[in-house]
Structure 1
Amino acid sequence: MTETTRTVRLPDHLRPVTSPRARPAAVVRGPHYRITVLTSRLLRLEYSPDGDFEDRASQAVLHRDLEPPEFRVLDSEGRLEILTEHLHLVYDRGEFAPHGLSVKVLGGVSNYHSVWHYGEEGERNLGGTARTLDGVDGACALEPGLMSRYGFSVLDDSSTLVFGDDGWLAPRARPGSDGNAGGRVDLYFFGYGRDYRACLRDYYRISGPTPLVPRFALGNWWSRYHRYSEEEYRGVIERFAEAEVPLSVAVLDMDWHLTEIDPAHGSGWTGYTWNRELFPDPEGFARWLHGRGLALTLNVHPADGIAAHEEAYERAALALGLDPAAGEAIAFDPADPEFLSAYLREVHHPLEEAGVDFWWLDWQSGPYSRLRGLDPLWVLNHVHFLDSARGGRLPLTFSRYAGPGSHRYPIGFSGDTIVTWESLAFQPYFTATASNVGYGWWSHDIGGHMGGYKDDDLAARWVQLGVFSPITRLHSSSMPFTGKEPWRFRPDAEAAMEEFLRLRHRLVPYLHTMNHRAAGEGRPLVEPLYYEHPEAAEAYEVPNQFLFGSELMVAPIVSLRDRALHRASVTAWLPPGDWFDVFTGTRYRGGRRVQMFRTLESIPVLARAGAILPLAAGPPANGVACPERIAVRVFGGASGTFELVEDDGSGAAGRREHQVRTPIVFDWDAGSLRVGPAHGSADGVPRTRAWEIAIEGISRPGAVRVTAGGRELDAVAEYDEQAATLRVAAEGIDASEALTVTAGDGFGLAPNRTVPAVERLLTDVHAEFAVKGEVYALVASGAPPAAVVAALAGLGLDEGLMGALLELILADAG
């Protein structure tokens, strides 16, 4: 190709905001070492043979300009000590070595295990995440995380690239003339004991926070690798609507673009030109989707560059000073900021202007580029995410994990898993553990991508996990039999899948509040149980159980039903206190392990006493608009608070002046629930609303009074005896008013309805009628639970039936 002279400048919006230079008061320095006390539990440890140190932002660490904590320096011959409130560093001032550099975590796990020596990887690391689950059938190895049961971890930042003054990446300066990577050491020591949340918060302080994701990302995504025509894709969306299963994101895999091309131009795997035989009017199709409340994303494989057959080819060639008449392909060069600028501006921007909301970056071509150490996947994530914020939009991209710092570029695509029970069984642990490197927005191929086998239980259980995952995206391969449309499955699986997908959209008010919490407080939506209970051994022994936001705990079922019992089970650990199953209403006494049995209709999703769960009410519909009807589920037994956060959906949504915050306060002792008044203002958030309140797990209250703005309401208040729930419906409540529900004589906990629950179980299971009758008589006798269990033990019951009975009989036993 013929080149012309051109000026290279990275656009301002592709330059990250950084504050990389630490404050002088935080730095302890010698001829070849520099130690920066970033917080009382976070140290930067650098060694440089030439005495020069790196003050530029790196791919993993953008910010070091933190207010330093108080610390002491003890400096004696041959020995340097630094003491903070939480750490004690001892260093011999020489080249970093295990015998010369150590850090002790004060008040840590133990005197022995809380000491790190340079070079140690750290035992009992709790794991991080992996780049991809492509082709994984079951479990895979995870990279180390930031948390360890021994209380410390180390992030090695010695080899990452750094940002220059122009906002682009460059290698670190290295000693020696050979250009090798040896010599300099750049580590971050995290010494947090078992305060895992504090560790994560400080990691976000130096690496950058998790961004707010657009509200539409929190609903159901429809995706399939399939050669759709526009007519066929519309038909699928309409079929979901007929089934009253809402969607919020429409995904088109690679066949949206030309794939059958002249081999001289490549394989067709990479493409940017709509296939107008399949989609004759792409702009009209995008408008049709948007009119039905769906965002649109397209899959791209950028590795083969921009070939001459592409509609964008001439524009891109001219922008790069090349001769389009030559017809030579423009190579994909992630190391060239000028190429990336043209790639975004000339190829992607026109497609976005025609209706594409964000991109699915499907990079499968390895971690190498022309610039040593520069992973093309990382570059794609970085520039696409920043570029998507143009015009004040809330940025979003969809791509694989590319190492520490990747949490800044949500959402993660975990890759093409195999359709097996083993794959499903790994995903809850995989998702929760990713929080240990701050990576909170995984999107899995719900139902699995390829291979494996058809199993209706597997499909339904995977959807149930997907609904209680960061992102719910149904997906499959192009094989005719692998689609995840619920109507492809048997009636019981279809019904379970559809009901859970409806639930996902009802959960959006809760999910979006947790989205704000993740961005503002550094708390991922999905957390391992040990974040909340770091000193409880049991919290580490249930790796598939996780916290889902502030109010819920999930123990997914990842095994086939027992045919006779018609149920599958999971053994969960319940922390101390009372817990309610949000589907069955059963109340459990905590502080113990419980084997929980469930039909295909549900999985154990538990709310602690006092939990407040806001949901969208009303008929299911596409999109995730702020609802005019809000249902609030409140679980009795303790007081609780929740602040519902809503916004206008713009890029400014992360700022409080573009938010509406509605406090909800449940006072168990006073017998009252108070909603609002709301604070703030934002477009799209209703000023008046209907509230549907359910206070669950309580005995029948006395007189119930409902007020708004101090005036008495003629609200409907009913007590449901079967569900032990007080229901209140209030219409037309202004956001400026406080809605209050008060029970005159307070609230009391209702006992579980154990006998009816056992009767339902016995009706359902396959067993001898005589045995059923004997079991029922024992349970209905009114004898104490311990006596009933002792009598049941003598009947020689099937293990599964006995376990299911014990769950119900002992659920709320003291």
Structure 2
Amino acid sequence: MPKCSVYTFLFVLLFTSINSSAQTYKKTDLGIKTNINGIEIELQLYSPAIIRVLKSPAGNSFNKESLSVIKKPGKTTFNVQQQGDLLYLKTNKLLVSLNMKSGDISYFISGNLLLKEKDEGVKFTSFNDAGNNTYKVSQSFVLDNDEAIYGLGQQQGGKMVQRNLTLHMVQGNTDDYIPFFQSVKGFGVFWDNYSPTQFIDNTEGTSFTSDVGEGIDYYFMYGGNADGVVACMRDLSGQAPMFPLWTYGFWQSKERYKSQDELIDVVKQYRKLGVPIDGIIQDWQYWGNNYLWNAMEFLNVDFPDPQKMIIEAHNLNAHMIISIWNSFGPHTKQYRDLEKINALLDFTTWPQSGSEKWPPNRDYPSGVRVYDPYNPEARNIYWNYLRKMYSLGLDGWWMDSSEPDHLDFKPSDLDNKTYLGSFRKVRNAFPLMTVGGVYTHQRAVDSSKRVFILTRSAFAGQQRYGANTWSGDVTASWDALRNQISAGLNFSLTGIPYWNSDIGGFFLSKFPGKLKDPEYRELYVRWLQFGTFCPMMRSHGADAPREIYQFGQKGNKYYDAIEKFINLRYRFLPYIYSTAWDVTANQSSMMRALMMDFPKDKQALDINDQYLFGKSLLVSPVAKAMYIKPGTSGQRFIQEEDFSSIKSKETYLPAGANWFDFWTGEKLMGGTKVNKETPIDMIPLYVKAGSIIPFGPEVQFAEEKKWDNLEIRIYPGADGKFVLYEDDNDNYNYEKGIYSTISFSWDDKKRTLTISNRNGSFPVMLDSRKFNIVIVNTGKSVGENTVNEPDKVITYTGKKVAVKF
């Protein structure tokens, strides 16, 4: 080697050594590790599109086992390259840059910046958590000024876009917090922390700050669009299993049926009236007094033969689920068993008195205590008692107070010790753990019946546990109804697809006249119309019963409107059940914010009172009173109904598609606002051009009739596809591939419908059936009518058929 070359080589070696000693990193099998400004930083690749970021003070690196994330990091091909102060990690999906001086991370796609951590946006503040020295942790990001983000769980504020707000994220009765947001730019961020957390978005940045954390732990994911982000989140935290077909029928409940005879009589009344119903729910106190709270036994004398009650319900072709709680009275067997293993938490919960009278008499405290679902042995005890109820033939569980109720809050309450540390450390994951405990235990003992859990709270990952979350004990009002829409949509955008609300609102305190108040009757009907297009259609509430016959009889406008929409729900069952399969098989969402399907339409990004139900139906609920006038006495609760003129609602039809009025078949242009007359028995409902929608028969319960004579409606104007899914309607055979799908394709230019070869099979599958094809247009009578004159009738035996129109 020439002398000059030797000196050059030594200089380069020395420079590289000095440079690398100041900005060193280690490449690992999963990504990279480094230490910058006293902070250890690790990037782990879970897939080419999902990156986990771990940060902790130097010397305090941590290895947390996530409660929400079940995916393990996979072997991902990536490259690492350093250019000056920037270290680049590149996959075939993403480019991530780490500033080796500041420690800030930025995320890019195709050279475009998606998200950047804020300069000096990391904070670790020493904190003593019930005797454990740990940290309060914070991470800030920088979003574009006009960037729309969504998610963060369910809140009641009526906001669609989650910008310019502060959220104190602690699970509550009507607020379900999930520290996850997704951007209209096609990425999502999951902050994997379970302690009380502040989410703040303002002009200074967007941040998560949690009370407890050994370090910062978050996931960045790129899906390209909202469906893709949801798919990433489910890839991380678990897929959503199928619910039975019967769960998509109509459900009736109230606070509470006080005897088994009363409960069964409700089902009998529906059958007598010929109004469809699939489920009845028994709320609390079937166990007796409050000292026996949640005993999971029928100790109330008015439920003398629960086995007979359940059999009677089943004989009436109805399913029954029952209220269970996450707390126990001091006289229950569960309380004694849980106390022995120190698995009862010590803070005030519901109910506060042993007496059932209201208000609570604090001289006689109930002694009810919340259990520790983080403890696996406690979850075993819970199921061991619940299993005895399951053996009676109950069809599902209504897990109330799953956040749980935390009354008379004191900061020291969070010092309670759980199996996983302080209650503060794991506070928000309570619903995930308790719902998961029931699901995993039931799955372990029985695969013949799908788990169905109705729960009042949720946390990230809960979709994997067969749970449908309802929005809590909301007070009935027009504002509350309107707020349910954005609450359910943002909840769905966190990756949890199943959500519903108490149709009519739980409390009627704003309506002193209760069902005598015409404004409340109108509100109930409008809420039920909204509930028709939710993943679960469930009437429930306190203060007044809500059964259809409480609203009059046939010929009464309210009664007829209720009956019309319950029947409409059942006609949509083939569409709904197939959409549910799309959720399970393809990570789709049932309730779809407009931004999911129309992200390029800026007018659609912040609409909080419309949504898609499935990928074809645009639903625009009516959320204001239209048909009341002041009563002659001036007292609010004797207002009078006024149907003298028909009112209307304006709806925005997103650009990028044309639309059909569901009720008339009229074709409308996208990117426009339209007014629709909205008599009490109608809401604006539109179908996207190119849609193929199967309509089922009129039935009294979901499985009454086979789908052997379906009406297939084609909404022309664009090419379209639809997959009709069918299986045994219950059990987990579908996980073994025991189901069938039939794909329908519409070629709009050729006006040809192609029905593919049937894929798959199951034991009770139809060998032959008729499809009644209806091409929708303005001249046809469509809407909810039972029978439309078909354009063609096709006999289908599972072999490919192409039909030209």
Per-residue CA deviations over 1:59-113 (Å, capped at 9, x if unaligned) read 1211133352x5431236754222345544333447xxxx4313043358x76x8
How many residues end up aligned between the 2 structures? 660
Partner of residue 220 from structure 2, selected from 186, 189, 211:
189
Distance 1:514 1:357, change over 3 A: same
Partner of residue 413 from structure 1, selected from 451, 470, 482:
470
Distance 2:605 2:153 in 1: 20
Equivalent in the alignment of 1:458:
523
* Letter of the 1:664 counterpart: F
- Equivalent position SS for 1:81: strand
Equivalent in the alignment of 1:691:
771
Partner of residue 494 from structure 2, selected from 429, 437, 440:
437
Partner of residue 336 from structure 1, selected from 349, 355, 375:
375
- Equivalent position SS for 1:727: coil
Equivalent in the alignment of 1:36:
44
- Equivalent position SS for 2:490: helix
Equivalent in the alignment of 1:58:
66
- Equivalent position SS for 2:262: helix
Partner of residue 485 from structure 1, selected from 522, 535, 548:
548
Distance 2:173 2:380 in 1: 40
Distance 1:543 1:85, change over 3 A: farther
Distance 1:215 1:671 in 2: 33
Equivalent in the alignment of 2:578:
513
1:545 aligns with 2:610: yes
Equivalent in the alignment of 1:302:
326
Per-residue CA deviations over 1:327-352 (Å, capped at 9, x if unaligned) read x999833343223212211x111110
Per-residue CA deviations over 1:195-240 (Å, capped at 9, x if unaligned) read 2222111111111112222222111111111233222222211211
Equivalent in the alignment of 1:766:
none
Conservation of the 8 A alpha-carbon contact between 1:656 and 1:680: no
1:365 aligns with 2:400: no
| TM-score normalised by length of structure 2 | 0.74
- Equivalent position SS for 1:47: strand
Partner of residue 234 from structure 1, selected from 240, 246, 264:
264
1:586 aligns with 2:666: yes
Q: State the shift of 1:132 in Å.
A: 7.3
Conservation of the 8 A alpha-carbon contact between 2:54 and 2:217: yes
- Equivalent position SS for 2:151: coil
Per-residue CA deviations over 1:416-450 (Å, capped at 9, x if unaligned) read 11111111111111111212211211121011111
Q: Comparing 672-681 with 610-619, which one deviates more in the overlay?
A: 672-681
Conservation of the 8 A alpha-carbon contact between 1:456 and 1:489: no
Distance 1:583 1:122, change over 3 A: farther
Per-residue CA deviations over 1:664-687 (Å, capped at 9, x if unaligned) read 233333333344542221134333
Distance 1:27 1:100, change over 3 A: closer
Conservation of the 8 A alpha-carbon contact between 2:69 and 2:461: yes
Per-residue CA deviations over 1:436-491 (Å, capped at 9, x if unaligned) read 211211121011111232422211111110000111111011x2x35243542581
Equivalent in the alignment of 2:151:
128
Distance 2:617 2:28 in 1: 44
Equivalence map 1:771-790=2 (5 Å): none
- Which structure has greater strand proportion? 2
Distance 1:352 1:724, change over 3 A: closer
Distance 1:445 1:337, change over 3 A: same
* Letter of the 2:433 counterpart: V
Equivalent in the alignment of 1:470:
535
- Equivalent position SS for 2:676: strand
Per-residue CA deviations over 1:18-71 (Å, capped at 9, x if unaligned) read xxxxx9643212363221133444321112345675556411211133352x54
Per-residue CA deviations over 1:351-373 (Å, capped at 9, x if unaligned) read 10111122111124239553223
Equivalent pairs: percent with the same residue? Answer: 20
Equivalent in the alignment of 1:115:
116
Equivalent in the alignment of 2:306:
282
Distance 1:656 1:591, change over 3 A: farther
1:736 aligns with 2:766: no
Distance 2:592 2:692 in 1: 18
- Equivalent position SS for 1:576: coil
1:146 aligns with 2:166: no
Question: Unpaired segments of 5 or more residues in structure 1?
Answer: 1-22, 162-179, 322-327, 701-717, 744-814
- Equivalent position SS for 2:798: coil
1:255 aligns with 2:255: no
Q: State the shift of 1:584 in Å.
A: 2.4
Distance 1:606 1:554 in 2: 7
Per-residue CA deviations over 1:280-301 (Å, capped at 9, x if unaligned) read 2211211121223222111022
Distance 2:754 2:434 in 1: 47
Equivalent in the alignment of 1:354:
392
* Letter of the 1:58 counterpart: S
- Equivalent position SS for 1:437: coil
Conservation of the 8 A alpha-carbon contact between 1:696 and 1:726: no
Equivalent in the alignment of 1:74:
81
- Equivalent position SS for 1:460: helix
1:568 aligns with 2:659: no
Distance 1:51 1:208 in 2: 33
Equivalent in the alignment of 2:12:
none
Distance 1:105 1:624 in 2: 53
Q: State the shift of 1:619 in Å.
A: 3.9
Equivalent in the alignment of 2:106:
103
Q: State the shift of 1:546 in Å.
A: 0.9
* Letter of the 1:568 counterpart: S
Equivalent in the alignment of 1:785:
none
* Letter of the 2:44 counterpart: T
* Letter of the 1:736 counterpart: G
Conservation of the 8 A alpha-carbon contact between 1:647 and 1:685: yes
Q: State the shift of 1:728 in Å.
A: 4.9
Per-residue CA deviations over 1:701-747 (Å, capped at 9, x if unaligned) read xxxxxxxxxxxxxxxxx999x9997515758x45434565443xxxx
- Equivalent position SS for 1:293: coil
Question: Unpaired segments of 5 or more residues in structure 2?
Answer: 1-26, 122-138, 159-170, 197-210, 344-366, 407-412, 512-516, 628-642
Equivalent in the alignment of 1:707:
none
Equivalent in the alignment of 1:793:
none
Equivalent in the alignment of 1:293:
317
Q: State the shift of 1:520 in Å.
A: 1.4
Conservation of the 8 A alpha-carbon contact between 1:104 and 1:114: yes
Distance 1:351 1:141, change over 3 A: closer
- Equivalent position SS for 1:359: strand
Conservation of the 8 A alpha-carbon contact between 2:259 and 2:302: yes
- Equivalent position SS for 1:221: strand
Distance 2:391 2:49 in 1: 47
Equivalent in the alignment of 1:727:
790
Distance 1:159 1:277 in 2: 41
* Letter of the 1:278 counterpart: D
Distance 1:486 1:82, change over 3 A: farther
Q: Comparing 509-518 with 668-677, which one deviates more in the overlay?
A: 668-677
Distance 1:313 1:437, change over 3 A: closer
Distance 1:319 1:654 in 2: 39
Q: State the shift of 1:621 in Å.
A: 3.4
| TM-score normalised by length of structure 1 | 0.73
